[in-house]
Chain A
Amino acid sequence: MARAVGRRRPSGAPGHRRQGRAAYVFLSPWLLGLALVTAVPLGASLYLAFTDYNILSTPRFTGFANFERMLGDDRFWAAASVTARYVFISVPLQLAFALLLAVVLDRGLRGLAFYRGAFYLPSLLGASVAVAILWREAFGHNGLVNSVLGWVGIEGQSWLQNPATALSTLIVLNVWTFGSPMVIFLAGLRQVPEELYEAARVDGASWYRRFRHITVPMLTPIIFFNLILQTIGAFQTFTQAHIISGGTGGPVDSTLFYTLYVYQQGFKSFDMGYASALAWVLLLVIGGVTALHFFLSKYWVFYGDD
Chain B
Amino acid sequence: MGNLDRRTFLAAAGLGTLGATGLLSACGTGGGSGTTIRYAWWGNNVRQQRYTEALEEFQRDNPEITVQPEFAEYTAFQERMTTQMAARDVPEIFWIASPQVMTYEKNGLYRSLSDIPTLDLSDFSDADIESFSLNGEFVSMPHGVFVPVVRYNETFLEEDGIELPGEDWTWDDLSEFLIDYSAENSAGRRAASYNPDQDMAFEAWLRQRGQDLWTAEGAMGFDSEALAEWFEWWRVLMDAGALLTLSEQEGMQPDWAAVGGDILLNFGSSNHIIDDAAMYPENRFRLRSAPVASDAADGHKFLYYPRLAVYQGIDDADVEAAGRLIDFNVNNADFLRTVGLTMGAPPNPRLLTEAYDFASDDEIEMLAVVEADREFDQRPRHEAPPGTNTWREALSRVSEGVALGETGVSEAADALIAEIQTGIDREA
> Which residues of A are at the interface with B, using a C-beta cutoff of 8 A?
18-19, 22, 25, 52, 54-57, 140-141, 157-158, 160-163, 245-248, 250-253, 264, 267-272
Contact = CB atoms under 8 A, between A and B. Distances in A.
Interface in B225-245: none
Given A19-B2, A22-B1, A250-B397, A55 B85 contact: yes
Query: Which of B1, B13, B250 has most A Cβ within 10 Å?
Result: B250
A55 B109 CA distance: 12
A270 B423 CA distance: 11
A250 B400 contact: yes
A251 B248 CA distance: 14
Contacts of A252: 397, 400-401, 404, 406
A161 B252 CA distance: 9
B384 to A, nearest CB: 13
A303 B279 CA distance: 63
Interface string B74-88: 010011001101100
A5 B269 CA distance: 81
11 contacts: A18-B6, A55-B86, A56-B85, A56-B104, A163-B406, A250-B251, A250-B252, A251-B251, A264-B390, A268-B78, A271-B426
Nearest to A15: B2
B4 interface: yes
B103 interface: yes
A270 B396 CA distance: 19
A162 B247 contact: yes
B378 interface: no
Interface string B1-33: 110101001000100000000000000000000
Contact of A269 (B85, B246, B253, B423): B423
Nearest to A249: B397
Contacts of B86: 55, 272
Minimum-distance CB pairs A-B, first 3: A56-B107, A158-B247, A157-B247
Contacts of B104: 56
B289 interface: no
Contacts of B397: 248, 250, 252-253
Given A22-B4, A248-B397, A251-B246, A270 B389 contact: yes
Given A22-B4, A141-B247, A158-B246, A251 B85 contact: no
B146 to A, nearest CB: 22
Contacts of A246: 251, 253
Contacts of B250: 140-141, 158, 160-161
Contact of B389 (A140, A250, A268): A268
A54 B386 CA distance: 11
Contact of B400 (A52, A158, A251, A269): A251
Contacts of A250: 251-252, 397, 400
Contacts of B251: 158, 160-161, 245-246, 248, 250-251
A52 B428 CA distance: 12
Contacts of B426: 52, 271
A251 B404 contact: yes
Contacts of A57: 107
A145 to B, nearest CB: 13
Interface in B411-428: 423, 426-427
B82 A267 contact: yes
B160 interface: no
Given A22-B9, A141-B250, A252-B401, 16 more contacts: A56-B103, A56-B104, A57-B107, A141-B247, A158-B246, A246-B251, A246-B253, A247-B75, A248-B396, A248-B397, A250-B252, A252-B397, A252-B406, A270-B82, A270-B103, A272-B86
B1 A19 contact: yes
A161 B390 contact: no
A96 B203 CA distance: 53
A272 to B, nearest CB: 8
A160 B404 CA distance: 13
Nearest to B13: A25
A160 B252 CA distance: 12
B90 to A, nearest CB: 10
Contacts of B83: 267
A252 B393 CA distance: 11
Contacts of A161: 246-247, 250-251
Interface in B374-411: 389-390, 393, 396-397, 400-401, 404, 406
A292 B223 CA distance: 49
A233 B161 CA distance: 57
A274 to B, nearest CB: 9
B72 to A, nearest CB: 13
Contacts of B6: 18
B289 to A, nearest CB: 30
A157 B13 CA distance: 62
A253 B404 CA distance: 12
Nearest to B402: A252
A33 B389 CA distance: 34
A36 B251 CA distance: 41
Contacts of A19: 1-2
Query: Which of B247, B396, B404 has most A Cβ within 10 Å?
Result: B247
A163 B104 CA distance: 35
A128 B389 CA distance: 28
A54 B389 CA distance: 11
A149 B266 CA distance: 31
Nearest to B407: A252
Query: Which of B2, B4, B251, B400 has most A Cβ within 10 Å?
Result: B251
Contacts of A264: 390, 393
B10 to A, nearest CB: 10
Interface in B56-103: 75, 78-79, 82-83, 85-86, 103
A197 to B, nearest CB: 44
Contacts of B423: 269
B230 to A, nearest CB: 19
Given A56-B107, A247-B75, A268-B393, A141 B248 contact: yes
A70 to B, nearest CB: 14
Contacts of A162: 247
A269 B103 contact: no
B231 to A, nearest CB: 14
